[in-house]
Amino acid sequence: MKKRSESAPTFEDLIGLGNHSARKNYYPELSRKLDELEAERNRYKWLFDHALHGIFQADLNGQIRAANPAMASICGYRNEAHLQTVITDIGEHLFGDPLCYRQLLQQLYQDGKVFRYETQLRQANGTLIYVSMNVLLKRESDDITLEAFVQDITERVMDQVRLRQLNEELEGRVEERTFALATVNSKLWDEIRQRESAQQEMRLAKEQAEEANRSKDKYLAAASHDLLQPMNAARLLVSTLRERPMAADDHHLVERIHVALEGAEELLTDLLDISKLDQNAVQPDRTAFHLSQLLSALQTEFQPVAERAGLSFRVRCHDRLVHSDARLLMRILRNFVSNAFRYTNQGGVLVGCRVKGESLEIQVWDTGEGIPDTQTDSIFEAFNQLQQHRNGQRAGVGLGLAIVERIARVLEHPVSVRSKPDKGSMFSIAVPLAEGAEQPLPRVTKMAAASHFQDEVVLIVDNDPDILLSMKVLLMQWGLTPLTAKDTAAALNLCETLTPDIVLLDYHLDKGLTGIDVLEALRDRFEAIPAALLTAERADESLKRFRSMGLQVLNKPVKPGKLRALISHMLSNEQLRKELGHK
């Protein structure tokens, strides 16, 4: 007889429970695992038995292997056992149309699953019901089964049928009522036709008026471009003469020419702006930006004006982040400051800011003659201007504050004015503060005064020879090295010998060419060359496109002060970029 140690291993030996010590160590853990498996099995069985949707499993011969109570209830059987006993072939006995079952099998063989398959099933009493099925094809060794999740949608389908019938009935009633109304109202057709004829005439008149407005706008745009081009050349040439030493009589004549050109330019620009604003053709492009960027440009532009007039000009405003259209807001501030200088004989002009709630009130103070109380309400009307103005200053045409009022209305920024005769005036505009944390200002490198350049190379591209000549003379007088070209080829040829520090381009050139085309050709050859547009183009769409490309824009006629400030700013940024590149 074999000893126990030499006998065949038992099941306990194979699983590590062959002795009392092993059973003591592992049996509790094994027992716990078995309990967990049993609990998980019971949970799935509970979910299977209590599911709201029907669930069944069947083989490919159509025999149902398992079904839950909900499936039996949907099909009208006493229980799942009754369902399995009666349904021996789901294709023949359960599906309303055996062809639908075959189509379902074909899709399952192809995709392995079918979702939201709508068909009809046959209940125990022979009634057909509508169902939506999600079916999976399961392969385990040689055994292939399908598992289906079934939702009864008969009520939904019947509701759709009833709704369709109701719609058809309603359409029939509408047709009947329409016919009845058409019969009863036959006497009104003549009046309706007369009204339609009158409306057609009104539409034609409206279209003609709109076309006339469009033609006027096109004419103004074309005329402004043709007028602004020679005016721009004349302004630049006169500015060149103004900066040269000459006899007093000659200087006086040049100043008179300057004032006359400035008046014509302002009138034309204001008329164009008023036309666009009155037709709601100006749409604001609101962004968050630092106010100091506008105020710095404002101070650079008007500081020479203040010096020539013998007035002081100060900007006292802490930098804040505001939310507005920078271009339109700058136009308002420029009008405020320009008017302040025009009506101030002595003293000066101050730009300041005050936070009021969620807005920043930008104020422009002057020590001028003030505005009488009787005229305060009318100063924002078109072609209305005060009789008093500074000696020697051009009086204007009375459109500046009218433009301010319209732009402020577009921006939804309140404008106010306070004034005391013989004391001065204060014009202000309330601009929303931008939400969020303050953003740091970009670093700016200090450079020499704008009137003392150091032979930096400036490429100018314009199709007007007079403008090229006037720009060349003016920039040479400022100490710059100008290169002038009319098209892409000429610009590229000039750059063979000298690399420009910045590029100034007109937008509309000859033969459909634009300054953007020239810039792209230049940037293919040079790395990120700084560029700005000097253009008579004022369409909002074009200006938005220029800004999206990161281009600075000056509208023609270009004021020398603005041009000088722009060139100084661009050269400063280019100098900073080169410094950072070397680090």
Quote the pLDDT of residue 583. 45
- Assign 163 a pLDDT band (cuts: 50, 70, 90): very high
* Helix segments in 139-188, DSSP class H: 154-184
> Hey, what's the torsion of the CAs at 237, 460, 552, 239, to 10 degrees?
-10
pLDDT digits (tens, 9 = 90+) for 8-43: 555 555 555 555 555 556 677 777 777 777 777 777
What is the side-by-side strand order in the sheet with 481-485? 481-485, 457-461, 502-505, 531-535, 552-555
The average pLDDT across 114-133 equals: 92
User: What does the pLDDT average to over 255-265?
Assistant: 70
Report the C-alpha gap between 520 and 526 in whole angstroms: 10
Pairing, β 54-59 against β 321-324: unpaired
Please indicate whether the domains covering 282-432 and 457-582 agree at the CATH topology level: no
- Smallest CA-to-CA distance from 364 within 397, 321, 401, 335 is with 335
Confidence of residue 446 (pLDDT cuts 50, 70, 90): very low
Report the pLDDT value the prediction gives residue 443, as an integer from 0 to 100. Answer: 44
Superfamily of structural domain 282-432: Histidine kinase-like ATPase, C-terminal domain (3.30.565.10)
The CA distance from 4 to 346, in Å, is 125
- Where along the chain do its domains lie? 4-47, 51-156, 282-432, 457-582
Instruction: Identify the CATH assignment for 457-582 out of 3.30.465.10, 1.25.40.10, 3.30.70.1560, 3.40.50.2300.
Output: 3.40.50.2300
CA torsion sign for 181, 183, 189, 190 is negative
Q: What is the pLDDT of residues 60-75, one digit of tens each?
A: 888 998 899 988 989 9
Q: Residues of 115-146 as b/e, b for ≥16 C-beta within 10 angstroms?
A: eebebebbeeeeeebbbbbebebeeeeeeebb
Task: Look at residue 149 in the predicted model and tell me its pLDDT.
Answer: 92
CATH topology of domain 51-156: Beta-Lactamase (3.30.450)
The pLDDT confidence band at residue 280, using thresholds 50, 70 and 90, is: low
